[in-house]
Amino acid sequence: MTRLAAPRLRRKNFDFAAKRRQEIVLHACHVGAAETEDFGRWLVAWALHNPGARDQVLSVMQAARRMGGEITEAEAIAIADEAAEIPHCWRADRMAKYLGVTYSQRQALRLTTIGSIDIGRRARKELRKRNDRLYRERKRRASGVIARTEYEANSMAAKARAEGVSRMTIYRRKRAAEQAKNRPDVTGVSAAILLTSEDRPVTFDRKREFERRCRAEESKRQSVFADGVHDAADRLESLPVELRLLALGLPVSENLARAA
């Protein structure tokens, strides 16, 4: 059984000439070109971008109706001949200069293939970048993102510089304040070197009990040590003098040795 390949989607090619013809009609209707003496300029520009028409004269007459005017067949023939003498299509700014398109008109009609006479190509590019940047900024503010200046003014680094301390000090203070707010009667865990499997936060009562036991153990050890010292002293006193001197590593005189 043979498998049929999936049909490939055809890519829609952009028709520049059709797009410009549409924009020429929009601009002519916007400025009322049919009521002026220069109505033929819009028709020449339209015919310039319609080179593949079977009947150029009829197409020009229909375009004039879409622009809100009427022309005769003789006028349409003259317009078609004038458009045929132009060697190639004009660029955006050249077309804008021919039709008198301003930047405000271009923005109102959303023209893309026709430039403007008051703002050049590079300036329009910078304006597009600026408008896009402002749009993205408004979108971020709507989603809750604060401005960079406000973020830096309220950052930990700014607070540390204002108080003359390090950022770690600010973090420690913040952590201690949150701990005291959430559990004011509980201390933190012990240091990392003292962590055990049973390590957990302790209350102040348990801490005081632990300190009391430590003091009791310390006093007990001191008392045991003192008793041991006293016992050793009693045992040494029962020994002869020469043996005590030998135990201490001291020299024994000849008289004591003879007496022994």
Q: What are 102's two structure tokens?
A: 């301003």
Q: Please check whether residue 191 lies inside any domain of the structure.
A: no
Q: Please check whether residue 224 lies inside any domain of the structure.
A: yes
Q: Please check whether residue 163 lies inside any domain of the structure.
A: no
Question: What is the reported pLDDT for 247?
Answer: 63
Q: Which of 71, 100, 124 is the last residue of a domain?
A: 124
Helices (H), 32-102: 39-48, 56-66, 73-84, 92-99
| Number of domains making up the chain | 2
CA distances 142 to 134, 136, 137, 150, Å, are: 12, 10, 9, 16
Predicted TM-score of the model (pTM): 0.55
Question: What is the reported pLDDT for 3?
Answer: 47
DSSP 8-state class, residue 198 = T
Q: Which of 94, 124, 154 is the last residue of a domain?
A: 124
Q: Please check whether residue 53 lies inside any domain of the structure.
A: yes
Q: Please check whether residue 108 lies inside any domain of the structure.
A: yes
Q: Please check whether residue 150 lies inside any domain of the structure.
A: no
Query: Does residue 118 share a domain with residue 22?
Result: yes
Q: Which of 124, 159, 176 is the last residue of a domain?
A: 124
Q: Please check whether residue 55 lies inside any domain of the structure.
A: yes
DSSP 8-state class, residue 196 = -
Q: What is the largest CA-CA distance in the chain?
A: 162
- How distant is the alpha carbon of residue 32 from its chain centre? 48
pLDDT tens sequence across 152-196 = 888 888 888 888 888 888 888 888 888 777 765 655 555 555 555
Question: 245: domain range?
Answer: 204-259
Question: What is the reported pLDDT for 1?
Answer: 44
Mean pLDDT for back-to-back runs of 10 residues, the chain (260 residues): 48 82 94 90 93 89 92 92 89 93 93 92 93 92 88 84 86 83 62 54 68 80 62 62 65 58
Query: Does residue 117 share a domain with residue 24?
Result: yes
Query: Does residue 118 share a domain with residue 24?
Result: yes
- Classify residue 19 by burial, with Cβ atoms within 10 Å: 0-12, 13-18, 19+: middle
Residues in the chain: 260
Strand, coil or helix: 186 = strand
Question: What is the reported pLDDT for 6?
Answer: 45
Q: Please check whether residue 236 lies inside any domain of the structure.
A: yes
Question: What is the reported pLDDT for 135?
Answer: 93
Query: Does residue 208 share a domain with residue 120?
Result: no
Query: Does residue 20 share a domain with residue 118?
Result: yes
